[in-house]
Amino acid sequence: MSPMAVGGPALFLGDGTPCVALVRPELDVNDPGLRLVAEQAGVTPEEFAGESGIWQVMADRTDGEGRTFELPDLGDGEAAVFADELLYALAGKGDAELELADGVIVLSVTPVDDDRVALSARVVPPAGAQAPDPQTGPLDVELGTLPVAELRDHVVEFHRSVV
């Protein structure tokens, strides 16, 4: 659950790799680093930044297989509801299965003990997803056993960033 700097809301599930991330990058065209990279690429900062503010899903497994794609129809409200459902699942004592964007991410939460939960996810790029990754089928990711308190704090922080 180590979020990298994306400049927007980010929910990282996992502890390094494997992981599943839901991010909405916000790129500042006035950032000196972005301006330098754009200049080196021979484009304007606006062209380089492209469409900022579009939700993206990234999933990686330890075997190197992964998926990355955009969810242009996903709104902050849906991301907030997903976070609410995850918080509810973390507070419960039974197994839970959560869905985001009609099954694009299906997250399974299984309590291990009072302090830890096991997470697994199925990530399915939606039909017609614009993806730099040529693989379009489902990807199952075992995210491991994570501390509930740390995960809850991260989800609460994510929830605050989208409401």
Give bridge partners of residue 110 from the DSSP assignment. Answer: 118
Amino acid residing at 123? V
pLDDT at 4: 39
Q: Is residue 4 part of a domain?
A: no
pTM, full prediction? 0.82
Q: Are 58 and 68 in contact (CB under 8 A)?
A: yes
73 is written with which tokens?
Answer: 């129809």
Cα separation of 6 and 54, whole Å? 12
Residue 19 resides in a domain = yes
Residue range 33-87, pLDDT digits in tens: 878 877 877 778 777 666 667 898 999 999 989 888 889 899 999 999 999 999 9
Give me the domain span that covers residue 27: 10-162
CA–CA distance from 144 to each of 23, 83, 104, 109, 118 (Å)?
Answer: 20, 19, 20, 10, 5
Residue 74 forms part of a structural domain: yes
Domain contains 3: no
Residue 5 has pLDDT above 70, yes or no: no
State the total domains in the chain. Answer: 1
pLDDT at 16: 86
The end-to-end CA distance of the chain, in Å, is 21
Nearest to 109 by CA among 146, 78, 138, 79: 146
Does 60 reside within a domain? yes
What is the CB neighbour count within 10 angstroms for residue 25?
18
Top-confidence residue, 13 or 36? 13
Residue 1 lies in a domain: no
